[in-house]
Amino acid sequence: MGTYHIKDKHSYTQNYKTSIEDPETFWGTIAKDNFSWKRPWNRVLDWDFSTPKVSWFEGAQLNITENCIDRHLDGNGDKTAILFEPNDPNAASEAISYKELHKRVNKFANILKSKGIQKGDRVCVYLPMIPELAISILACARIGAIHSVVFAGFSATALASRINDCDCKMLITSDGGYRGAKTIDLKSIADEALLECSGIESVLVVKRLHSEIPMVKDRDFWLQPLLEDASELCDAEVMDAEDPLFILYTSGSTGQPKGMVHTTAGYMVYAAYSFKNIFQYEPDDIYWCTADIGWITGHSYIVYGPLLNGATTVMFEGVPSYPDYGRFWSIVEKHKVTQFYTAPTAIRALAKEGLEVVEPYDISSLKIIGTVGEPINEEAWHWYNDHIGKRKCPIVDTWWQTETGGIMISPIPNSFEGKPTFATLPFVGVIPALMDENGIELKGNSVEGRLCIKFPWPSMARTIWGNHQRYKETYFSAYDNMYFTGDGALRDENGHYRITGRVDDVIIVSGHNLGTAPIEDAINEHPAVAESAIVGYPHHIKGSALYGYVTLKNANNSSEALKAEINQLISKQIGPIAKLNKIQFTTGLPKTRSGKIMRRILRKIASKDTSNLGDISTLLNPEVVEMIMENSQ
């Protein structure tokens, strides 16, 4: 049997043990005792990693929004569900109670229906961090439509490919958004994308900037007037446990992003349970995660996890540097934030500004602080611990992925301590394994290998939209009967895990996953370019930054202007987040005799770690290595 609240070391040990020895009883008890169901399940878990097929709570029926909202109305209806902090520090914050959230989600859901959206239809959401972003995804879930949120920093081309990949019928966007001192013009990006998206029947437009924007007749509709006429009542659609809840795209090792499909019941149970315990959420807490809802962190730990627990979740529209680098801490003081969850890249950027921007604020309300998205370096961990947590707040260094839906490895405050740069121990129900390159599991402690998961957990993605074969090849083919994460990790002498970074062609820049292939594809579209290779190198703020080696068709064409054009092309195809920090023009790339680019060598050169390049004599063209080293930046 499992307990919903893990209070101490003993209860972690007990819960972990039961979850591994008898997962069906464990998760069945958690699910039955803590959520509302319209019909119970026939079977808690059915799985086969060779297909792969995983289903949790099959036969059960529910609606996740009833669990996120309706369930709290009796007794907690007036409690703040979403606390919206606008970009402008002088503008009023907005507290949306559970009662009001209920009305606003229902109204929005009725508008979706009036525009022809039905259960199973895909709706793309391309919005800044305003309340309508959370409300629109809940409205989709209310009527069983599958939401696909695209981060508002992505370009028109990237948006169009995501809309088309899952055949979205509707797009929800805004006339723009605020980001620090800048505004972003989302609607014109959306309009450009929609030239390529014939499947979109209607566009709902939220007014945020109040700017004049073109509206396409019979396709584009302002949201506000529709809301005025919409009913506040909308029955929650009855969903099967394994009905898709959302699609969220993540980068992969080929150009096409992967639409990870998350389903309803398992995701709900795991997001709620992990939120409660990793953040040790108590009813009067004010929880704040600084991520964008365009990423999985925002889905699971701004919207679903907190609301499923009846929590107050802060949503911040702006950036850490506006109006100055004290903004995060001013918000913590203003709302008396108790749990604060951010990314190592933000911690490093803030630490660089010195304590002058922290000290003016009273951040003593903090109880637990967290990080996510990339390995946290020791220096950043200590700064966070000393100056933000004041050595009294446990740090939860949470390792997980878009694909895992919820946190997989993390300290649990009160149960066991964190250790700098270590994600520590698996969460309840998670069985990690470290594998060597020959597919042999590394048993025991003090080993390092590739991180896999041996047993299904409730919130794992079930497939890649429209491409189950790719799902199988990417995650279940490297090792028999295991989910392969794409990360390397070590297990120390006490069995604690430290994530060492990606072992595939994904580079994490400022906490954002970027596949090298789509960036190379974008560069190679430039008529002057023959071929290119992208690698990551260590960067003091971003964690990793991108280094591009570009071979031109005509070497005489190399120029600073061409570098700028290459970055413009990347911005257009993917978004500014994928721009290269350094570009080196080369006359060739080191290749194996079978023609494969030797990225390992390029990575070492970019990282200025050339003392041991290994044996390069077997390369097809060893002479280029010397030349690349001489001209490296």
Binding site for ligand PRX (CB under 6 A): 250, 296-297, 372-375, 397-402, 423, 485-487, 499, 502, 508, 513
Q: What contacts 388, CB < 8 A, 6 or more positions away?
A: 329, 340, 347, 358, 363, 366, 369
* DSSP secondary structure string for all residues of 97-140: EHHHHHHHHHHHHHHHHHTT--TT-EEEE---SSHHHHHHHHHH
CB of 293 to ligand PRX, least distance (A): 13
- The tokens 């878990």 sit on which residue? 45
Q: Are 241 and 57 in contact (CB under 8 A)?
A: yes
Phi, then psi, of 108 in degrees rounded to 5:
-60, -45
Give min distance, CB of 432 to ligand PRX, in A.
13
**In this structure, how many other beta carbons lie within 10 angstroms of the beta carbon of residue 587?**
15
Q: In whole angstroms, how close is the CB of 195 to ligand PRX at the nearest point?
A: 29
Distance (Å) of CA 585 to CA 329, 456, 506, 582, 607: 43, 46, 22, 10, 17
Put residue 373 in one of left, alpha, beta given phi > 0 → left and psi -120 to 50 → alpha: left
Sorted by sequence, the CB contacts under 8 Å of residue 395 that are 6+ apart come out as 369, 370, 371, 381, 384, 385, 389, 411, 418
Give the nearest distance from C-beta 54 to ligand PRX in angstroms.
18
In the complex, the smallest distance separating the C-beta of residue 372 from ligand PRX, rounded to whole angstroms, is: 5
Q: Find the shortest distance in angstroms from Cβ 187 to ligand PRX.
A: 26
Please identify, using beta-carbon distances, which residue of 57 and 399 lies nearer to ligand PRX: 399
- Name the residue nearer to ligand PRX (CB basis): 105 or 507: 507
Compare residues 400 and 471 and give the one whose CB is closer to ligand PRX: 400
| Least spacing, CB of residue 13 vs ligand PRX, in Å | 22
Which residues, other chains included, contact 196 with Cβ-Cβ below 8 Å and sequence gap of 6+? 160, 164
- Taken as a whole, the chain contains a residue count of 633
Nearer to ligand PRX by Cβ, of 499 and 625: the residue is 499
- Closest distance between ligand PRX and the C-beta of residue 614, in Å? 24
CA distances from 476 to 151, 217, 403, 471, 481 (A): 27, 47, 13, 7, 7
The residue (of 138 and 508) whose beta carbon lies closer to ligand PRX is 508
Q: Which is nearer to ligand PRX, 220 or 397 (CB)?
A: 397
Q: How far is the CB of 404 from ligand PRX (least distance, A)?
A: 7
Q: Which residue is nearest to ligand PRX (CB)?
A: 402
Handedness of CA 371, 374, 378, 379 (dihedral sign): negative
CB closer to ligand PRX out of 335 and 502: 502
Q: Please, which residue, 279 or 399, has the CB nearer to ligand PRX? A: 399
CB of 390 to ligand PRX, least distance (A): 22
Cβ proximity to ligand PRX: between 35 and 267 the closer is 267
Distance in angstroms (rounded) separating the CA atoms of residues 377 and 358: 20
What does the DSSP 8-state code read for residue 322? Answer: S
- Nearest to ligand PRX of 244, 252 (CB atom): 252
**Positive/negative CA dihedral, 29, 31, 37, 43:** negative
Consecutive H or E run containing 528: none
In the bound complex, what is the minimum distance in angstroms from residue 498's beta carbon to ligand PRX?
8
- Which structure tokens are listed for 358? 């922290």
